[in-house]
Structure 1
Amino acid sequence: MKVRLLEGEMQLLKALEKLNGEAYDERLVSETGWPSDKVTTMALNMSERGIVKVSVEEEVWIWLTDEGLRYARMGLPERRILEQAMAKGGVEISKLERVEDWEKPIGLAWLRRKGWGVIRGGRVEAAGEFPKGADEKLIELIASKGKVRLTELPEELRKTVKTLRSRRLVETGKVTRRLISLTELGWGVLRGDVEVLEEVSRLTRDLIVSGRWRSVVLKKYDVSLPSYRIPIGRLHFWRDILNHIRRVWVEMGFKEMEGPILETCFWDYDALYVPQDHPARDLQDTFYVKTPGRGRLPSPEFVDKIRQTHEDGWTTGSIGWGYKWDVEEAKRTLLRTHTTAVSVRTLAALKEAELPAKFFSVGRVFRNEKPDRTHLCEFYQTEGIVVDENANMKHLVGYLKEFFKRLGFPEARFRPAYFPYTEPSLEVEVYHPPTGRWIELGGAGIFRPEVVKPLLGRDIPVLAWGLGPERMVMLNYGLKDIRELVMNDLEMLRRAPVWMG
């Protein structure tokens, strides 16, 4: 009997022989030094000829999240609170040490839930001493190994996986493994019972010069066989998408505008006619900057227009907000909460001779939110404005429909809404064909006279919109957690398709 083998296939058979005729693909990757895809491709190729057998197994693996790794180092927050309450015979919540403010409600809730203590009048009192629970044991086990198989865990620890997942301390995922085994034919090849014809995939200079080309078999090129990938450098797919969005706006005749990330309240809020007591300006929504704590304002004449608009409406036809505007509040520095701050800076610098004008921006913005599967404290917005005497809502809808169409969303719809600095205002939704869902992506409208007149010196229609692309990216790429956009998962980055629009 004769069989054809590539040089690499013979190497794989010898590696299997060394491993007693059977091994998982990851063990063979370690043994040969080849990429996983190459081992899999060769094994599947030989399995079609009956030389090896490939069995596919799916296993659930468990690993710690960033928060889980923190608790592996420091202990669960409820454990740290319990230890302090026991050591001090009770402890005030405000005096807890080694527990961050955001951890306190988590730790206190689980302390009560586990029956480890009680809270009375702002004090924590321990209910006794408690040994390590299954959740703590599992966190320690995973931390020591990096990741573990679900099937390896004893029943006690297996039951607590769901609890740790609900606390977002662990993540799970299915991993496909292939068990590759030598068949009787494969053993025969290694023993020499079967005649091996050397098969080559390309005709080299050495084969021709040595004359070996006469004794080898040239392998036929089979395009139906699975192939292995060669990792190459590429931009993060999120960066690719942001660049694509920029190209779309430029193709539609827009000019890019840019502005600082470190902004003052004046440009981020006041110039947009957002009152100084508005809830959006609170600490829980905004990252205020400690150093420098104050920024420079534009000319006193310009600042005075904004002040009067807030206090009594100035000459806009409005009655204003009716309060005493504070210039020191306007000087406070922050990380910009929206790219609309870039729009108002652009409008303030716009000259009459430059009208009509169309601008866009794509930039990072910041909100004081705890990151979770649907929120980030740093994300992107794409902003646009059109300044034109003849602009109206039909033009606004038309621009946005064309933009989304070029991004691959054939349908868009608009609903009346309220925003502090536009009137009328719209909420923007697009239809996502693969899921059959409508998704909300942002807001749009026409800037109010209280915004436009102080900036431009006269009231003129300014179409404006702000859109968040993260949601449509999550849907198109099948991401369940928005944090995956900023995680350095090399395998995900390599496999992510190019956004075609």
Structure 2
Amino acid sequence: MPYVLTNEGKEFLSKGLPERHVLTFLRDGRRTMAELATLPGSAIGIGWARKAGWIRIIDNLFVELTDEGRIASGLKLPMERALEDVERSGETSPENAQLLLSRGLIRQVPGKAGIFEKIIPRMSEISLPKHTESEYAQLTPEIIKTGRWKEMQPKKYDVNAPAPQLWPGKRHIVQQFLEKVRRIWIEMGFKEMTGNLSEVAFWNFDALYQPQDHPARDLADTFYLNPPESVQLPGGNIVERVSATHTNGWTTGSTGWKYKWSADIAAKACLRTHTTCLSARTLAGLRKEDLPAKYFAIGRCFRNETLDWKHLCEFYQVEGIVVDESVTFRHLLGYLKRFYAKLGFPNARFRPAYFPYTEMSTEIEVWDPYKKVWLELGGAGIFRPEVVKPLMNIDIPVLAWGPGVERLVMNAYNIADIRQLYGNDLALLRGAKMW
């Protein structure tokens, strides 16, 4: 059975195949995907050229010819020869015919109509049979109205045929992860806390019973601001209660740190080193009728860290507190186990730890299959009376936790170096799963 060119086949024969345009465009060297997209039929051309092994795509940004592609760019392509054969004689090899049919560049016609259309197109006395397409790709109103659909079959689609890669816009993987974390805590009945990136040392350190000579408060670990060098301390009796707790324990049952507390040191302005300062502010604002209460926060923190594969000087932290007369350390582990299970880390483990403002305390860890090590995510525990009582003026159990986020994202995407998360790696971002 002979073949004739479709309208698209005639256009490609006269103007060139899309893959020919791609090969010609790349003769002078590497081009960007954006530049290649300006060619007619670029997506089709890239697909067929890539399938033939004529081009290579680098980092989904650049395209260049392979050795085979450079050779092919100077020769007549097999599909070009096949189109010429069909246009000239109505015939081509079975392999070429199958490929051209799949691309919609030729169609079959019964009898010898194909060759006669070429030889005597103006001899009106010869009545050539009118033929229609035997398949439809789209069922149009015209096909339905004329009843042609009864004589046609839906076009079969080749799911293995080359197709252009689409890169729709989407959120950064860290932002996707943060939204997932936010949804989980809200599903578990928590309210969200928010606050400023800059903070006064009083809320960042002193309110959390961290002594003023603690190494974490040095310039080596904390970014202090100037200006403003200092910020006004909160009003009311809270400053006096915190000061007394540091000095002699106040009424908490503790002996305190036994040093002279300085309001000037507490008034220093800094970038917050953790989101626990939000918990301190929230506790100070709670009233008895607000209890029991559950809060969480997701915020950016800053520490003067040495950058390496698992440390950043800017990072996200997930904060949480539960204020309730009846809660215990077992409730704390239950909240955290449920959170990590929902996040996809059912095997998170907890190790005993020490933190200046919690007792009992634990360190949260998850297994990193890439590095073959347990990654520490942050601390958790029950706030000490020296933290809770000066802030709330009552002694009540407060569960608290503050793990980091980026290490969880590393684990979720099998990323070896935390710095890759913010490295503008388009291949990583495009190929990453969505949450």
Matches within 5 A, 1:357-368: 357-368=293-304
Match of 2:17 in 1: 14
Q: 1:241 and 1:342 mapped to 2: Cα distance?
A: 21
Tell me if the contact between 2:18 and 2:41 (Cα under 8 Å) persists in the aligned partners.
no
Q: Deviations over 1:367-392 (max 9, x none)?
A: 12354443322110001011111111
With over 3 angstroms needed to count, the CA separation of the structure-2 counterparts of 1:193 and 1:370, relative to structure 1, is farther
Match of 1:54 in 2: 53
Q: Give, in angstroms, the shift of residue 457 of structure 1.
A: 0.9
Q: 2:53 and 2:197 mapped to 1: Cα distance?
A: 54
Tell me if the contact between 2:53 and 2:66 (Cα under 8 Å) persists in the aligned partners.
no
Q: 1:372 and 1:468 mapped to 2: Cα distance?
A: 15
Q: What is the aligned residue count?
A: 383
Which residue among 106, 109, 130 is the counterpart of 1:197?
106
With over 3 angstroms needed to count, the CA separation of the structure-2 counterparts of 1:236 and 1:205, relative to structure 1, is farther
Which structure would you say has the larger Rg?
2
Which residue among 372, 377, 382 is the counterpart of 1:441?
377
Q: Which secondary structure state, in structure 1, belongs to the residue aligned with residue 341 of structure 2?
A: helix
Match of 1:114 in 2: none
Q: 1:207 and 1:36 mapped to 2: Cα distance?
A: 30
Indicate whether 1:30 and 2:36 are aligned.
yes
The one-letter code sitting in structure 1 at the alignment partner of 2:81 is W
Indicate whether 1:411 and 2:305 are aligned.
no
Q: Which secondary structure state, in structure 1, belongs to the residue aligned with residue 243 of structure 2?
A: helix
Q: Which secondary structure state, in structure 2, belongs to the residue aligned with residue 419 of structure 1?
A: coil
Which residue among 484, 496, 499 is the counterpart of 2:420?
484
Q: Give, in angstroms, the shift of residue 394 of structure 1.
A: 0.5
Match of 2:250 in 1: 314
Tell me if the contact between 1:361 and 1:384 (Cα under 8 Å) persists in the aligned partners.
yes
Tell me if the contact between 1:57 and 1:179 (Cα under 8 Å) persists in the aligned partners.
no
Q: Deviations over 1:293-326 (max 9, x none)?
A: 1112112521111111111111111111111111
TM-score, L = length of structure 1: 0.65
Q: 1:222 and 1:456 mapped to 2: Cα distance?
A: 68
Q: Deviations over 1:398-454 (max 9, x none)?
A: 000000111111222211011111111101123467987643222111111111110
Which stretch of structure 1 is more off in the superposition, 7-16 or 293-302? 7-16
Matches within 5 A, 1:135-154: none
Q: Give, in angstroms, the shift of residue 2 of structure 1.
A: 4.8
Match of 1:41 in 2: 47
Unpaired stretches in structure 1, ≥5 consecutive residues: 48-52, 62-145, 150-174
Q: Give, in angstroms, the shift of residue 343 of structure 1.
A: 0.4
Indicate whether 1:257 and 2:193 are aligned.
yes
Q: 1:176 and 1:338 mapped to 2: Cα distance?
A: 52
Which residue among 289, 297, 316 is the counterpart of 2:225?
289
Match of 1:220 in 2: 156
Q: Which secondary structure state, in structure 2, belongs to the residue aligned with residue 245 of structure 1?
A: helix
Q: 2:20 and 2:286 mapped to 1: Cα distance?
A: 76
The one-letter code sitting in structure 1 at the alignment partner of 2:326 is N
Q: Which secondary structure state, in structure 2, belongs to the residue aligned with residue 445 of structure 1?
A: strand
With over 3 angstroms needed to count, the CA separation of the structure-2 counterparts of 1:399 and 1:16, relative to structure 1, is closer
Q: 1:18 and 1:36 mapped to 2: Cα distance?
A: 8
Which residue among 398, 404, 407 is the counterpart of 1:471?
407
Tell me if the contact between 1:57 and 1:178 (Cα under 8 Å) persists in the aligned partners.
no
Q: Give, in angstroms, the shift of residue 10 of structure 1.
A: 3.7
The one-letter code sitting in structure 2 at the alignment partner of 1:389 is E
TM-score, L = length of structure 2: 0.74
Q: Kindly indicate which of the two structures has a greater share of residues assigned to strand.
A: 1
Matches within 5 A, 1:390-401: 390-401=326-337
Q: Which secondary structure state, in structure 2, belongs to the residue aligned with residue 362 of structure 1?
A: strand
With over 3 angstroms needed to count, the CA separation of the structure-2 counterparts of 1:286 and 1:437, relative to structure 1, is closer
Q: Which secondary structure state, in structure 2, belongs to the residue aligned with residue 54 of structure 1?
A: coil
- Root-mean-square deviation (Å): 4.1
Match of 1:352 in 2: 288
Match of 1:339 in 2: 275
Matches within 5 A, 1:47-126: 53-54=52-53
Q: 1:60 and 1:258 mapped to 2: Cα distance?
A: 38
Which residue among 248, 261, 272 is the counterpart of 2:208?
272
The one-letter code sitting in structure 1 at the alignment partner of 2:163 is S
Tell me if the contact between 1:188 and 1:194 (Cα under 8 Å) persists in the aligned partners.
no
